[in-house]
Amino acid sequence: MKVTVIVFPGTNCDRDTKWAFEKIGANVEYVWHNEHDLKNPDLVVLPGGFSYGDYLRSGAIARFSPVMQEVKEFANKGGFVLGICNGFQILLESHLLPGGMTRNENLHFISKFHHLKVIDNKNKFLQNLNVGDIVNIPIAHAEGNYKVDDETLKKMYDNGQVILKYCDKDGNELNPNGSVDAIAGICNEQKNVFGLMPHPERAMESLLGGSDGIKMIEGFMK
Residue in 11, 145, 161, 192 binding another protein, rule: CB under 8 A? 145
| Burial class of 174 by CB neighbour count within 10 A (0 to 12, 13 to 18, 19+) | middle
- CA 116, 58, 219, 186 torsion: positive or negative? positive
Catalytic residue, chosen from 115, 141, 199, 218, is: 199
Give the nearest distance from C-beta 147 to another protein in angstroms: 5
SS3 222: coil
Catalytic residue, chosen from 70, 93, 143, 201, is: 201
The yes-or-no answer on residue 201 being catalytic is: yes
**Whose CA is closest to 142, among 51, 12, 50?**
50
- Could you please report the per-residue DSSP string of 192-221? -EEEESS-GGG-SBGGGTB-HHHHHHGGGG
Residue in 92, 153, 162, 203 binding another protein, rule: CB under 8 A? 92
Catalytic residue, chosen from 13, 85, 167, 187, is: 85
Give the nearest distance from C-beta 152 to another protein in angstroms: 9
SS3 71: helix
- CB-CB contact of 74 with 171 (8 Å): no
The yes-or-no answer on residue 13 being catalytic is: no
- CB-CB contact of 8 with 45 (8 Å): no
55 binds another protein (CB under 8 A): no
Give bridge partners of residue 222 from the DSSP assignment.
Answer: none
Binding mask 14-53 for another protein (x = CB under 8 A): ----------------------------------------
Question: Which segment (5-13, 105-113, 167-175, 201-209) binds another protein by CB under 8 A?
Answer: 105-113
Question: Which segment (26-34, 140-148, 159-167, 182-190) binds another protein by CB under 8 A?
Answer: 140-148
109 binds another protein (CB under 8 A): no
Residue in 14, 93, 120, 201 binding another protein, rule: CB under 8 A? 93
The yes-or-no answer on residue 167 being catalytic is: no
Give the nearest distance from C-beta 102 to another protein in angstroms: 6
**CA 86 vs CA 27, 41, 45, 110: distances in Å:** 23, 21, 11, 14
Binding residues for another protein, per CB under 8 A?
56-57, 60, 64, 92-93, 99-107, 145, 147-149, 178
